[in-house]
């Protein structure tokens, strides 16, 4: 199972914040983390430079891929920060490990091979994250309406995966199947999006296929063991809030034009719920 410090580094990589442990109350819940990951990519797509988030204030949307910023401070306990100069520029987030993680539901898929086996969640195919290790998030009994969304029956929500780079910047392409390499189809899709704003692909993207999510995921070099890891969020998506794109391996939660920040955040929160932090060595 993932080392605790390694999990904090992974959360830092996803959120772009310095995530540290605390013995006090957590500043953010697992739901807040999926909100931040989704909203950061959406607002970058919209051309914004910052995101305002409750309890954290202003978060930068600047892409820092070229900087080695995706490791949390060394110490797990509260105390003086050991972060470098670049890390000190990022927002620090403190979480209570017992409140945030749920080790009882950790699962090691590293050596699992499903082959032709079929799995369902909400009567829809579930592609298990074979090759990855899951640190379970504490989300049981955290939502109104009970935990059916998290189950395996027909009332469960389907599984989706989200990496921090799934920013929807290719919204028209993803939603309509066109690409710059197939210019007529791409231009036709672009023209259609101007006529009908509802099909612009404006919103938050995720995928039911872990292999697709891996292509878009964040990577970070761990200070725990010096290895480089990939990190992805494992979520459940509200089938009533999801739009299936022309590409079957992409799903969209549409954000209406002129939505306020509060409404945008509420749309994400009603649509996507996290339950696992997935890690894989490169």
Is the pLDDT score of 198 beyond 80? no
Task: Report the alpha-carbon distance of residue 183 to residue 187 in Å, rounded.
Answer: 6
Q: Which helix (H) or strand (E) holds 53?
A: strand 50-53
Is the pLDDT score of 47 beyond 50? yes
The predicted model gives 201-212 an average pLDDT of 90
pLDDT of residue 211: 94
pLDDT of residue 199: 47
DSSP SS3 for 220: strand
Question: Are the beta carbons of 85 and 77 closer than 8 angstroms?
Answer: no
Backbone angles phi, psi at 6, to 5 degrees: -65, -40
Task: Report the alpha-carbon distance of residue 183 to residue 150 in Å, rounded.
Answer: 42
Total domains, the chain: 1
The predicted model gives 78-85 an average pLDDT of 43
Task: Report the alpha-carbon distance of residue 259 to residue 256 in Å, rounded.
Answer: 6
Task: Report the alpha-carbon distance of residue 52 to residue 57 in Å, rounded.
Answer: 5
The more confidently predicted of residues 267 and 73 is 267
Name all contacts of 146-150 with Cβ < 8 Å and 24+ positions apart: 149/236, 149/238, 149/273, 150/236, 150/273, 150/275
Residues 6+ positions from 195 with CB-CB distance below 8 Å: none
Task: Report the alpha-carbon distance of residue 15 to residue 17 in Å, rounded.
Answer: 5
Query: What are the tens digits of pLDDT across the range 105-123?
Result: 999 999 999 999 999 999 9
Is the pLDDT score of 57 beyond 60? yes
pLDDT of residue 248: 77
Model confidence at 268, pLDDT cuts 50, 70, 90, reads: very high
Least confident of 13-27, 126-140, 163-177, 191-205: 163-177
The predicted model gives 76-87 an average pLDDT of 43
Query: What are the tens digits of pLDDT across the range 117-156?
Result: 999 999 999 999 999 999 999 999 999 999 999 999 999 9
Is the pLDDT score of 206 beyond 70? yes
User: Burial code of 88-101, b = ≥16 C-beta within 10 A, e = fewer?
Assistant: eebbbbbbebeebb
pLDDT of residue 64: 55
The predicted model gives 94-115 an average pLDDT of 96
The proportion of the chain whose per-residue pLDDT surpasses 70, expressed as a percent, equals 77
pLDDT of residue 55: 87
Model confidence at 11, pLDDT cuts 50, 70, 90, reads: very high
Mean pLDDT of the chain: 82
Other CB atoms within 10 A of residue 86 CB: 11
pLDDT of residue 63: 60
Angle in degrees, 0-180, between the axes of helices 30-45 and 261-271, rounded to the nearest 10? 120
The domain containing residue 25 runs over which residues?
Answer: 4-281
Tokens of 12: 């830092």
């Amino acid at each position: 199972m993932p080392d605790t410090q390694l999990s904090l580094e992974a959360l830092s990589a996803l959120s772009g914040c310095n995530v540290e442990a605390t013995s006090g109350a957590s500043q953010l819940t697992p739901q807040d983390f999926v909100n931040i990951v989704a909203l950061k990519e959406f607002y970058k797509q919209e051309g914004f430079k910052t995101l305002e988030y409750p309890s954290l204030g202003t978060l930068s949307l600047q892409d820092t891929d070229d900087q080695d910023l995706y490791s949390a401070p060394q110490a797990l306990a509260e105390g003086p920060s050991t972060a470098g100069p670049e890390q000190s520029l990022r927002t620090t987030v403190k979480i209570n490990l017992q409140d945030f993680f749920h080790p009882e539901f950790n699962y090691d898929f590293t050596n699992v091979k499903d082959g032709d086996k079929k799995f369902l969640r909400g009567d829809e195919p579930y592609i298990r994250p074979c090759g990855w290790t899951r640190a379970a998030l504490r989300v049981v009994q955290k939502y109104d309406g009970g935990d059916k969304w998290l189950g395996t029956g027909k009332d469960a929500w389907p599984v989706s995966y989200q990496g921090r780079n799934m920013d929807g910047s290719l919204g028209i392409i993803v939603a309509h199947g066109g690409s710059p390499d197939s210019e007529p189809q791409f231009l036709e899709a672009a023209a259609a999006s101007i006529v009908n704003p509802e099909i612009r692909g404006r919103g938050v993207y995720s995928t039911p296929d872990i292999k697709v999510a891996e292509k878009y995921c964040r990577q970070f070099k761990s200070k725990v063991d010096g290895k480089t890891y990939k990190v992805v969020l494992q979520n459940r998506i509200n089938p009533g809030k999801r739009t299936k794109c022309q590409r079957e391996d992409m799903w969209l939660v549409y954000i209406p034009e002129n939505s306020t920040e509060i409404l945008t955040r509420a749309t994400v929160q009603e649509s996507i719920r996290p339950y696992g932090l997935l890690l894989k060595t490169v």
